[in-house]
Amino acid sequence: MLSTATIEQVKTHIHAAAKELAERRAAGTCGDLLLPELRPTSFEQAFAIQQTVAAIYKANNNPIAAWKCLLPSAEKTVVAPIYQKDVYQQSATCPLYPSTKGLARVEPELAFEIARDLPPRATPYTEAEIDAALGHTRLALELIKSRYHTPSEATHFDALADGLVNQGLWLGPVLNPLAGLETSHFELSVNIHNGETLQKSAIHPNGFPKAGLYWLVNFLSAQGIGLTQGQYVITGSYAGVLDLPLAQVCDFEYGALGQFAITFTAK
């Protein structure tokens, strides 16, 4: 059993790590990996840092407005909050912090709306209960940025503490309501008005896009965290990270799922 002094030291390190990462996120900056004594070495430590960042943001009127997740694997657990001031709803422009190469880094996703609260409880939610609590599904883009200069040198726990390279979420139009529409894969097309065209076969990493959502609801519930009406959940990129130019109209087409046009601008 840990001594009281050790427990207090751990809490101090978690708060110091969270304060540093929260400040970097707010300023749109990045820095070195955290000091060795502040770096998390377990999922529990990383999640505690991440949620302390969330508490700092909530105290500054910037609560959690969305979550990102993926079905967990033996190697890693993917779960991170996205904050209200970093969520943009169906606007023609999307402000973000560009990459070091001056590009917008985004991932094509589907976003599931929580239309009815799913508070934490002792018994797991069934898939039917979760489905009944959902509202619209939207075409979406996750906005990508690490708070580390060298994210390739960060461990999964470092990245988890920092919110898994998320800097925000752009919510687009509602998914095509056609019955029986295939959502596990589609042909992605991005036509950029400078003449470039990007095409990819987009495949959801879990096959079934709601798989991570079903896991997330019950994982958070077990941590005493609920999902609330108006929040969104994204469950994995269909095509990895796309590097796209700023100040150019980009026409996205998610196959039969829908389409939208957007211009990325630098914060």
In a domain, 39, yes or no: no
In a domain, 49, yes or no: no
Mean pLDDT of the 191-212 span:
96
Cβ pair 234, 183 in contact under 8 A: no
The pLDDT value given to residue 5: 67
In a domain, 165, yes or no: yes
Residues 6 or more apart from 263 whose CB is under 8 A from it?
92, 93, 94, 246, 247, 248, 249, 250
In a domain, 14, yes or no: no
Whether the predicted pLDDT of 1 surpasses 80: no
Quick one: tokens of 163? Answer: 């919110």
- C-alpha to C-alpha distance for 63 and 228, rounded to whole angstroms: 11
In a domain, 3, yes or no: no
Total domain count for the chain? Answer: 1
The pLDDT value given to residue 179: 76
Domain extent, residue 182, equals 63-266
In a domain, 33, yes or no: no
In a domain, 261, yes or no: yes
The pLDDT value given to residue 117: 98
The pLDDT value given to residue 247: 97
pLDDT digits (tens, 9 = 90+) for 176-191: 988 789 999 999 999 9
Whether the predicted pLDDT of 200 surpasses 70: yes
pLDDT digits (tens, 9 = 90+) for 136-185: 999 999 999 999 999 999 999 999 999 999 999 999 999 998 878 999 99
In a domain, 99, yes or no: yes
Q: What is the CATH number of the domain that holds 210?
A: 3.90.850.10
Whether the predicted pLDDT of 203 surpasses 80: yes
